[in-house]
Each structure stands twice: as structure tokens, then as C-alpha cells.
Amino acid sequence: MKALRFSIPRPIALLITTGQIVQMIFGFYINIHTLIFALTASPNECQCSLRASISGFLLYGLFFYYFVKFFVDSYLVRKPRTKKEVPSKVSNGDCQTNELSLNGRPLKSDLNNNEATSLLSKKDN
């Protein structure tokens, strides 16, 4: 729903994620028993192949892990909020911006505003 830009209330989102985790637990439980049966039964008894049992076991295990990780990251761990730096308005040809950063490290420029303006005007010519 978030991909479609719908705003879902936090308690509803928490309920959906919890439901998905419970679904993965049941699927994992069923696949464990299917895998055990596929390993212990004779080939004529089991209608499920060993490859399908192992695949289901691994998929439900991975889905369970990722849903729990998402749950913990989204609902249990508080992330510190950071302010986004917004460039100030450009006026009279002067290039005035707040400090720019890349991956949290500040970008430094050896040019001052006058040099940058002269380089831009040369580029336009």
C-alpha cells in the first residue's frame, strides 16, 4: 500500500506485519513437517519431492527472517531524526547554498562565489 502512496495508520501497519509473521510461522511449521516426511518416508509414500520440500523450507525461513527484521527496524528501534539541508535561494547570480554533503561527508570546493560565477559565464559563451 505504501508503494501506491496510501497513508496507512501505524496500528494497522503493525497488525498487517504481525499477521505476515504469523503466516510465515505456520508456513515454516508445515514445511518442516513436509521436509521431515520427505526424508523419512519411502519414495512411494510421499507425494512431495525432496527438492520442493527443501525449497519451501528455505523460502519460508528467509521470509520469516525478513519480516521479523522489518518489524524490528520499523516498530521497535527508534531512529534519530536528522534535518535535511536545503539549499538557499540563488539571488543576483551569486551561488549561495548551505554546505553540501555526500554520504554524510561535506563536499569542499576550492572556488569562491566570484570564481564559480565567472566559470559559469565562460561556459555559457
pLDDT tens for each residue of 4-57: 888 889 899 999 999 999 999 999 899 999 888 888 888 778 788 888 888 998
Kindly report, residue by residue over 62-88, the tens digit of the pLDDT.
999 999 999 999 888 887 777 665 555
* CB-count burial class (<10 Å; 0-12, 13-18, 19+) for 23: middle
Work out the burial of residue 90: count CB atoms within 10 Å of its CB; fewer than 13 is exposed, 13-18 middle, 19 or more buried: exposed
Long-range contacts of 61-66 (CB under 8 A, 24+ apart): 61/28, 63/24, 63/27, 64/21, 64/24, 64/25, 64/28
> Given a cut of 60, is residue 91 above it in pLDDT?
no
Owner of C-alpha cell 570546493: 109
pLDDT level of residue 117 (50, 70, 90 thresholds): low
Residue 102's pLDDT is 59
**Does residue 106 sit in helix, strand or coil?**
strand
pLDDT in tens, 97-113: 555 555 566 655 555 55
C-alpha cell at 50: 525432496
What is the spatial distance between Cα 60 and Cα 70, in angstroms, rounded to a whole number? 15
